[in-house]
Structure formats: structure tokens, C-alpha cells
């Protein structure tokens, strides 16, 4: 379609639209040609392309009409401060509603707790209606328009949003868009053979095509849900299921699926969601003969989600949940003409995994080498920096870089697993292997922060030295994610060093998935009187609270794309610098239990004799050689 033809189509469509808002028309007008191009690229062969494109436009109009004046006002504030999510003032926590405090009302009651710690952005793990047992922690949605009744009613949810907004807090929704539950109405109809709904999924009459797909795909849960297809005995068919067999992959080759899901996302934008975490996006498009992660069409889809979102709810931001290699993750921020116009935020998963590698080896060489290989991201985009989350830790390092350090990549991974899971070399860590590859012994890793840092075991054994080291490792992880620039995301429970949860083994619906090892019920008794408590948990909490407070007072910790890693040969240390026009902060991290030294020469552009340590609130005199203690982190202002 030519440009003029496209615009005249838009004008015909708009004649019926009653919306007066000039900004809406501007946004729609500016983005319409791009949206229609993207749509054409994806769906030129679809018999329903005309009909679905019109439905998409109608959805934009309807959702804008339904957007409340209050939300529209919030949009305008954000549009005038477009990289609000890069601010040093933003600090996040992710949590399961029920494990945190029972339900939406319980969560609302804990707003003072968030305020005390300094959290103002909360990522709610999936809270929509799901089947009772088989739901992968909420990641198998049965109804996209209803909340999980265990957490309360839609009214309770709305009241929670209202209270969050009153307290200047942001809400992140986990939007599970790659797949839905096999009990979703679409799947129920598809199972009965309804052609419209069969086309919402990838259905196959026999194993021919599934076998062809399998040749080039990997398995996500090889131990517990092998293969990427599930057999449906009642109709003797196969359906594509990359995750668990009860999570049916949605077929985005059908434009109806895209339109439904965009409409759903806008519905939740109108409920007051500030940021969407777009779950498992790397897998959204599949082709025979491909690896089926990060395909180019995934990016076109995400651009469509983002552009449509921007027309209706321009204040909303988007996180790509793609746990993929650095050269792939960077593409989720948009490339070429779309640079900065796809997702605003992505997970810094490589850094996270490498920080655990460095703690296990007491050596930062691979971390430093890998950071250098990460391409620069576009302006106004940022990372979620995190140490733990609800998922396992994948040891996804670049084999080439590991080899360049003279290491065998499999042996290196096996060493890390032994450190975290087997008490190897005196390690106090209590992690467990997740999804073991039986031929090689390679695996991913589960375990809570306190377990992996050795604090859980040290407390059980009342080993004073190890308790100290465990606390210091947790503080180190927190001090890093709060100073890298970007959106730091604390995993609920880590602020009080919750140990592993072994209870999940008594639950039939969970015991096969050891990610539940690090999904614990919050222990509120630890928090009572925490300010006066000398316990290890209280020490972690108080240090985290202090770090958050200092971060928020330090504008150089905002993400202005200015993070600079400093080449420094001491293998125990990681050194980086954050700047803004007024301020320079050096961060020095000791990843080992040994005291060590750093030289004055690492501050290349510094000629003074002292730096101010933000954490101890004292000046430190900089000598030729300076001391840094075990697992210590320094935040030094020039």
C-alpha cells in the first residue's frame, strides 16, 4: 500500500471516531504508517489481514476512549520525562502476591514496608486466573481478563492500584503472552476441533512436522517436560508446547492472536499498569528449520505491541523478558530505525549469571571480558539489574570467551555447579541443580540468595566466620545491582535473607520443579522490631535499606548510558565508574573472601588525595596501594 493510500484509509476510519484529543490523533497519525507496514510484513499472506487490521484500529480507539482522565494525566507527566524508568529514584521488588502477604489486600497493607525499605516499583508475578494446580507459578493463564480469585476480586486489584498511585509507586505486570493454559477458552474450543480456535495454536495431525521442528530446537524443561509438543489422546493430535505440556504456545502467525493480545494488554494498561514485563518473548515466533528463539518476526511483533501501546497509553514502559546472549538481547531495544523503539527495558541476565560465576571462582576475569563484549544499548533504554529472581540461574556464558581464558567451558560450569551444590572446596552454598543434562552433567542452578551465599548453612551451624561472609556476599550483590545504573530489582525475601524453601517437596503440583526451592513465603516475624535486632537477617535488611537510600540521593546512579568498566588486573576486583555532569562515583567490588589491595593508578583521571566513601560517610585517603576487605564494596565519590 502506498503512503497516500494508507493515510486516506486512516482518514476514512477516523471519520467515525469521536475522540477529540489532539495528542491521540497525532500519535495515531504518526504511527499508523509504521503499524500498517509492520502488519503487512507479518501478515501479507493471511486471509484475515484486512479484517484483523481494522479490529486492531478499533481496539486502539476503544481503549483510548476507556482510558481514565487520571491515567491520561499520568501519561502526559511521563511523556515529558520519557526515561523516568532510568532514574536513580526507582528501586524495584518482585514478588508473588500470595507468598508475600496472602492477597491484594494484604499487599496493600504492606505499602509502609515498601516505603521503609525504599521500594517504589513492584513487579507482581502473574496474578491472573490460572488452573489450580498446573500453572507454572501463574505462567499458564486461563482467563486474561480476570484476576486469580485466590488474590481477591478485580475491585481489590483496582483498590491496590489506587493506593500504589497515591503513594507514588509503580506497578509492573507480568504479561504472559507467548502461551496460555490448556484450560483457556481458546484451547478448550480448539480441543473440540473449532477451526477458528485451532488456528490460535500450532496443531498437527501427526509427528511429521513436530519432528521437523524438533531437529533444530532445544528443550526448555528437558527433565520434566521433554520435547516441544504435547500429544492430545482424545483427538489424536499434537500441539506445540515449548514450556510445560499444559502451556500451549499461541500462534502469532494468526493476526487474530496478535489483535486479541494487544487488546488485552491495553485493557490492563487502563487498569493502571505502569510497566509490562513481556514474558518469554524470545519464543513468540516459530519456523521449521530454525532455532526458534529471537527470530526477526519476534521483533516486529514487539514493535507492534509497543507502538499500539504508545498510541493509547504513552506513559507505559515495556520490559523484554528474554534471557538470551548479549548480542541478541540488545536487539530487543530495537535496531536501525527502531532503535530505542521496541522494549524500553531488558534483563541484564549475563551480568547476573557472571556475578555468581565470579563469586564461585573469586575471579572477575570472565565477568570483565564478557562485559566488554556487550554492545552499547540505545539511549533511553535500561537494564533490570538483579541478583536473584523466581527462575533458575542459567550459566549461559560465551564459550568462546571462556576458552580465551584458557578454560574448558564444560569443566568450568561443572566447577561452578559443584561450588554451589556440593559444598566443594569448603563452600557453604546450598544450591541445587536444575534441569541436568545427563550426558554432560551440565545444569542450571536453583537456590535462594541466602542459600547460595552460604548464609543459610552458616546460620544452621552457627559458624560465625561464615555468617559474616554470607552477609557480606548478599550485601555485595545488592550493592552492585543498586549502583550499575538501571532498574535494580530485589527479589522479595532476599531483603531478609530468606533461606531455601524445602516445603515445596510436599506439594504434588510443585515437587517436580525445584525453582520452588527459592520461592518462599515471606517470614514477617523477621521484620518485627528489625531496626533494633542484631540478627543476620536484620543486618542484611538494614544494609540494603542504607544502600537504597544512598542510591536515591546520588543522581550519578541514574542510567544515562554512562557506565564505564575500568580495566584493572587484580583478578578479585571489579571496578566501574558512574558519572553525570556533576559527579563521578567509582565502585570497587572485591569478589573474594581475601582482603586485597587496589592501586591509585586505577583512578586515571584523579589527582587529589582523598575520595569520599558514600557507604561509610567518611573520606578515605588514597595511597599508592589501598586496602579493601573480603567481599567489600566501595562507592567512592571523586
Residues that bind ligand GLC (CB under 6 A): 136-137, 139, 176, 243, 279-280, 321, 390-391
Q: Give least dist CB 265 to ligand GLC, A.
A: 16
Q: Which of 75, 129, 279, 559 is catalytic?
A: 279
Give the C-alpha separation, 451 to 421, whole Å: 10
Cβ neighbours of residue 392 closer than 8 Å, sequence gap 6 or more = 434, 435, 444, 445, 446, 515
Closest among 471, 449, 472, 462 to 520, alpha carbons compared: 449
Give the C-alpha separation, 349 to 352, whole Å: 5
Q: Give least dist CB 513 to ligand GLC, A.
A: 9
Give the C-alpha separation, 111 to 109, whole Å: 6
Q: Give least dist CB 59 to ligand GLC, A.
A: 24
Q: Give least dist CB 200 to ligand GLC, A.
A: 17
Tell me the CA distances in angstroms from 537 to 190, 458, 590, 596, one per residue in order.
Answer: 50, 12, 22, 27
Give the C-alpha separation, 610 to 589, whole Å: 18
Q: Give least dist CB 3 to ligand GLC, A.
A: 39
Of residues 139 and 318, the one with the C-beta less far from ligand GLC: 139
The β-bridge relationship of strands 229-232 and 143-147 is unpaired
Of residues 126 and 470, the one with the C-beta less far from ligand GLC: 126
Partner residues linked to 179 by β-bridges: 249
Q: Give least dist CB 126 to ligand GLC, A.
A: 8
DSSP string, 110-167: THHHHHHHT--EEEEPP-EE--SSSSGGGTS-SEEEEE-GGG--HHHHHHHHHHHHHT
Residue 382 Rama label (left phi>0; alpha psi -120 to 50; beta) = beta
Q: Give least dist CB 519 to ligand GLC, A.
A: 10
- Do 481 and 489 touch, CB atoms closer than 8 A? yes
Q: Which of 321, 456, 494, 593 is catalytic?
A: 321
Of residues 110 and 123, the one with the C-beta less far from ligand GLC: 123
Give the C-alpha separation, 368 to 351, whole Å: 10
Of residues 88 and 513, the one with the C-beta less far from ligand GLC: 513
Q: Which residue is nearest to ligand GLC (CB)?
A: 139
Q: Give least dist CB 243 to ligand GLC, A.
A: 4
| Cell (9 digits) for 514 | 525445584
Of residues 180 and 587, the one with the C-beta less far from ligand GLC: 180
Please give the DSSP secondary-structure letter assigned to residue 346.
E
Of residues 78 and 123, the one with the C-beta less far from ligand GLC: 123
Closest among 233, 228, 365 to 283, alpha carbons compared: 228
Q: Give least dist CB 398 to ligand GLC, A.
A: 21
Active site residue 507: no
Give the C-alpha separation, 515 to 392, whole Å: 6
3-state secondary structure of 537: helix
Residue with grid cell 572485591, as numbered in its chain = 590
Q: What is the signed CA dihedral for 132, 133, 139, 142, rounded to 10 degrees?
A: -40
DSSP string, 357-387: HHHHHT--HHHHHHHHTSPPPPTT-EEEEES
Partner residues linked to 633 by β-bridges: 589
Q: Give least dist CB 137 to ligand GLC, A.
A: 6
- Do 142 and 181 touch, CB atoms closer than 8 A? yes
Give the C-alpha separation, 182 to 200, whole Å: 12
Of residues 156 and 391, the one with the C-beta less far from ligand GLC: 391
Active site residue 279: yes
Of residues 250 and 459, the one with the C-beta less far from ligand GLC: 250
Of residues 116 and 391, the one with the C-beta less far from ligand GLC: 391
Q: Give least dist CB 502 to ligand GLC, A.
A: 20
Give the C-alpha separation, 344 to 337, whole Å: 15
The β-bridge relationship of strands 203-204 and 237-240 is antiparallel
Of residues 53 and 186, the one with the C-beta less far from ligand GLC: 186
Cα dihedral across residues 137, 139, 140, 145: positive or negative: positive
What values do phi and psi take at 281, rounded to 5?
A: -65, -25
CB atoms within 10 A of CB 261: 22
Of residues 281 and 407, the one with the C-beta less far from ligand GLC: 281
Catalytic positions are 279, 321
Amino acid at each position: 500500500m502506498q503512503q497516500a493510500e494508507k493515510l486516506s484509509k486512516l482518514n476514512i476510519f477516523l471519520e467515525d471516531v469521536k475522540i477529540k484529543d489532539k495528542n491521540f490523533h497525532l500519535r495515531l497519525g504518526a504511527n499508523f504508517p509504521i503499524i500498517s507496514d509492520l502488519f503487512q510484513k507479518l501478515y501479507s499472506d493471511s486471509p484475515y489481514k484486512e479484517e484483523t487490521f481494522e479490529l486492531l484500529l478499533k481496539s486502539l480507539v476503544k481503549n483510548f476512549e476507556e482510558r481514565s482522565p487520571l491515567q491520561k494525566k499520568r501519561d502526559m507527566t511521563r511523556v515529558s520525562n520519557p526515561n523516568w524508568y532510568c532514574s536513580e529514584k526507582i528501586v524495584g521488588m518482585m514478588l508473588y502476591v500470595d507468598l508475600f502477604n496472602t492477597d491484594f489486600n494484604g499487599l496493600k497493607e504492606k505499602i509502609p514496608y515498601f516505603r521503609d525499605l525504599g521500594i517504589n516499583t513492584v513487579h507482581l508475578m502473574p496474578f491472573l486466573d490460572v488452573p489450580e494446580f498446573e500453572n507454572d507459578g501463574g505462567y499458564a493463564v486461563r482467563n486474561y481478563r480476570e484476576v486469580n480469585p485466590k488474590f481477591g476480586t478485580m475491585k481489590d486489584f483496582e483498590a491496590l492500584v489506587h493506593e500504589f498511585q497515591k503513594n507514588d509507586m509503580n506497578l509492573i505486570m507480568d504479561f504472559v503472552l507467548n502461551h496460555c493454559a490448556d484450560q483457556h477458552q481458546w484451547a478448550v474450543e480448539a480441543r473440540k476441533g473449532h477451526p477458528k480456535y485451532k488456528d490460535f495454536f500450532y496443531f498437527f495431525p501427526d509427528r511429521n512436522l513436530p519432528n521437523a521442528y524438533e531437529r533444530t530446537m532445544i528443550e526448555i524443561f528437558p527433565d520434566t517436560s521433554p520435547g516441544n509438543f504435547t500429544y492430545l489422546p482424545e483427538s489424536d493430535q499434537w500441539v506445540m508446547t515449548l514450556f510445560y505440556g499444559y502451556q500451549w504456545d499461541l500462534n502469532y502467525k494468526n493476526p487474530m492472536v496478535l489483535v486479541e493480545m494487544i487488546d488485552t494488554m491495553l485493557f490492563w494498561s487502563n487498569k493502571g499498569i505502569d510497566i509490562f514485563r513481556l514474558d518469554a518473548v524470545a519464543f513468540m515466533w516459530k519456523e521449521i528449520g530454525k532455532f526458534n528463539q529471537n527470530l526477526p518476526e519476534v521483533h516486529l511483533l514487539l514493535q507492534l505491541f509497543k507502538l499500539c501501546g504508545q498510541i493509547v497509553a504513552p506513559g507505559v514502559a515495556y520490559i523484554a523478558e528474554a534471557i538470551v546472549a548479549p548480542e541478541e538481547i540488545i536487539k530487543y531495544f530495537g535496531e536501525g530505525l527502531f532503535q530505542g523503539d521496541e522494549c524500553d527495558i531488558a534483563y541484564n541476565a549475563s551480568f547476573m549469571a557472571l556475578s555468581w560465576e565470579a563469586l564461585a571462582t573469586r575471579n572477575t576475569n570472565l565477568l570483565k571480558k564478557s562485559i566488554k563484549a556487550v554492545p552499547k544499548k540505545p539511549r533511553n533504554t535500561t537494564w533490570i539489574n538483579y541478583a536473584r529472581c523466581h527462575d533458575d540461574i542459567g550459566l549461559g556464558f560465551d564459550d568462546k570467551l571462556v576458552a580465551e581464558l584458557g578454560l574448558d567451558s564444560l569443566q568450568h560450569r561443572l566447577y561452578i555447579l559443584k561450588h554451589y551444590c556440593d559444598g566443594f572446596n569448603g563452600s557453604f552454598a546450598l544450591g541445587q541443580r536444575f534441569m541436568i543434562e545427563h550426558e554432560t552433567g551440565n545444569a542450571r542452578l536453583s537456590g535462594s540468595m541466602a542459600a547460595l551465599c552460604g548464609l543459610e548453612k552458616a546460620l544452621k551451624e552457627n559458624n560465625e566466620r561464615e555468617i559474616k561472609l554470607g552477609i557480606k556476599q548478599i550485601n555485595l550483590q545488592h550493592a552492585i545491582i543498586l549502583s550499575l545504573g538501571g532498574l535494580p530489582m530485589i527479589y522479595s525475601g532476599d531483603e531478609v535473607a530468606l533461606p531455601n524453601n524445602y516445603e515445596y517437596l510436599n506439594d504434588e503440583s510443585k515437587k517436580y520443579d525445584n525453582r520452588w526451592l527459592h520461592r518462599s513465603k515471606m517470614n514477617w516475624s523477621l521484620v518485627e522490631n528489625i531496626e533494633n535486632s542484631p540478627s543476620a537477617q536484620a543486618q542484611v535488611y538494614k544494609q540494603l535499606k542504607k544502600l537504597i537510600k544512598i542510591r536515591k540521593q546520588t543522581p550519578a546512579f541514574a542510567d544515562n548510558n554512562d557506565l564505564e568498566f575500568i580495566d584493572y588486573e587484580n583478578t578479585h576486583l571489579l571496578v566501574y565508574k558512574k558519572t553525570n555532569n556533576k559527579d563521578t562515583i567509582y565502585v570497587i567490588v572485591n569478589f573474594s573472601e581475601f582482603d586485597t589491595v587496589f592501586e591509585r593508578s586505577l583512578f586515571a583521571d584523579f589527582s587529589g588525595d582523598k575520595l569520599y566513601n558514600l557507604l561509610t560517610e567518611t573520606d578515605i585517603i588514597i595511597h599508592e596501594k589501598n586496602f579493601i576487605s573480603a567481599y567489600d564494596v566501595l562507592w567512592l565519590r571523586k
